[in-house]
Structure 1
Amino acid sequence: MGDRKSNKPEYHRADERRFLDERGSSGPLAPNGLNPATILEKAVRERIVDSYFYKEQCFGVNEADIVDRVVEHVDHIGGVTGTVQKPTPFLCLAFKLLQLAPNDEILEEYLQFGGEKFKYLRALAVFYIRLTRQDKDVYLKLEPFLEDRRKLRRKGRNGVSLTYVDEFVDDLLVKDRVCATSLWKMRRRDVLEDLELLEPRVSPLGSLEDLLEERDEEMKDGEGGGMGGVRVGV
């Protein structure tokens, strides 16, 4: 136990370069068919590998270590910051996940960790899933977290702002670029529904049609009650 680190493989700078070089032409692809080594843009990858955080915290780590790194070092989401475009710890760890290629069981554990201190682990997991999984699985995995209202700090070139887990998930589903990363173009949800790859999504509040019908009924009831009140007053 005390010598836990000695059981880890020895990594050094060349290993990261080898990942970038060899995976450029060979090696297994991500489930969505993309090359993990080239999902992030070249300039961003180079900044990550050269960053102090990556050198100090991301060498020789495994999937379990990722949890510790997030809890200890990640207090915001984001891509690059400042005029020098310094990569955030969040983006550095996302790049490390691209190298580790965790399986679905591990990703599910990341997603299900509860509590405030693990909300950034969930954010990292949904970001990684959006980068590497097929569109059908992205919707299935991410949509449940559209109900997660916890606050997140977002850091970018223009400073720090406040967002929420559900807003971040929505960005991943609808935007083309998030956290200094161009997202691969997924098929729209309605297209996947037409192909019978997805069931229509039902909000916890009910369908839009039901909500509108309920609202109309409430408005009618309110109008009737208001008129009755006027007659009594007269």
Structure 2
Amino acid sequence: MANTTVTGAKAIHGQNPQSLVETVIRNRIYESSFWKEHCFALTAASIIDKAIELKTLGGVYGNQRPTEYLCLLLKLLQIQPEKEILLEYLQADEFKYLRALAALYIRMTFPGAEVYETLEPLLKDYRKLRLRNMGGYVLTFIDEFVYELLTEERVCDIILPRLPKRQILEDNGELGPRKSRLLAAMEGDSDNESNKSGSKSRGRSRSVSDVGSASRSRSRSRSGSAGSRYVSRSPSRSLSRSVSPERMAVDES
């Protein structure tokens, strides 16, 4: 009874949700001590506490033992929480392993267009994750994990349902074009550079006009001062111009 899917659960991709995990791995999960001790009566609310306690993600390790992450994934498939609850899992920024658990569940159960729309924003999350596999522990990142979910056929030893190519969904009008963060950043930089160049050109034109007006004013002042200096340095000419002819005749006599 503890291993059966909740009553009223919807079929996913035409089959029982738990059947998305291969039979061999599913049976090993049922036999694991973590499943029997901690996953027996979990609900959509109580499973959060177990996901927060996760220290690693992965599929099977050692002697084909399932990780706690994989056990919680099967429990989600068994209880089939509502879509709104899954999105709340995904938006819990402070709990990265809960986010990774919800991302894998969404990849396995959501339609193709919704998978891209829901998971692509996580490609900007660069936090570290610890992955456990047959070789031990390796370091990965949330954006790398999500990229594998969107491109690989098998993740955490689980064969993922077929995901249509993004270009096909765009051609069919089911999905809008993806917005590149790099292209947006480049366009923003180009706009800033054009604004800066425009302000600099306007500044240069203003400075040139200011220099021209200043030079013209200085030339006027120089010409005026030069004329006054010329008159003051010619006392004889100025005196001869100011004396009348009658006075000159008196002086000669």
Q: TM-score, normalised by structure 1?
A: 0.76
Aligned to 2:197: none
Partner of 1:176: 153
Instruction: Note the alpha carbon deviations across 1:194-213, whole angstroms, 9 max, x for none.
Output: 001000001222269x67xx
1:146 is paired with a residue whose SS is: helix
Identity %: 45
Residue deviations 1:147-185 (CA, integer Å, cap 9, x gap): 000000000001000000000000000000000100111
Q: Which amino acid letter does the alignment assign opposite residue 10 of structure 2?
A: P
Q: What is the aligned partner in structure 1 of residue 24 from structure 2?
A: 43
Letter in 1 for 2:55: D
Say how many residue pairs are matched: 190
Q: Give the greater-gyration-radius structure (CA).
A: 2
Secondary structure of the residue that 2:132 maps to in structure 1?
Answer: strand
**2:56 alignment counterpart:** 76
TM-score by length of 2: 0.71
Q: Which of 82, 87, 92 matches 2:71?
A: 92
Aligned to 2:128: 151
1:9-158 matches, within 5 Å, as 14-16=1-3, 18-19=4-5, 28-30=10-12, 32-72=13-53, 74-82=54-62, 84-115=63-94, 118-158=95-135
* Secondary structure of residue in 1 paired with 2:174: coil
Contact conserved, 2:9 with 2:80, CA < 8 A, in 1?
Answer: no
- SS of the aligned residue for 2:131 comes to strand
8 A contact 2:57–2:67 mirrored in 1: yes
CA contact (8 A) 2:2 2:40 kept: no
How far residue 34 of structure 1 moved from its aligned partner, in angstroms, is 4.1
Whole-angstrom distance in 2 between the partners of 1:186 and 1:145 = 18
Name the residue aligned to 1:185: 162
Give the CA deviation at 1:108: 1.0
Query: Greater CA deviation, 168-177 or 34-43?
Result: 34-43
Are the counterparts in 2 of residues 34 and 132 from structure 1 also a CA contact under 8 Å? no
User: Structure 1 segments of 4 or more deviating over 3 A?
Assistant: none
Q: Kindly tell me: are residues 107 and 27 of structure 1, through their superposed partners in 2, closer, same or farther at Cα, counting changes over 3 Å?
A: closer
Distance in 2, matches of 1:133 and 1:99, equals 15
Q: Greater relative contact order: 1 or 2 (C-alpha under 8 angstroms, separation 6 or more)?
A: 1
Question: How big is the shift at 1:103?
Answer: 1.1
Unpaired segments ≥5 residues, structure 2: 194-253
Q: 1:134 to 1:34 in 2, by over 3 A?
A: farther
Asked whether the 8 Å contact 1:79–1:179 carries over to 2, the reply is yes
Gaps of 5+ in 1: 1-13, 218-234
- Tell me the amino acid that sits aligned with residue 194 of structure 1: D
Q: 1:15, CA displacement in angstroms?
A: 2.7
Cα displacement (A) at 1:27: 5.6
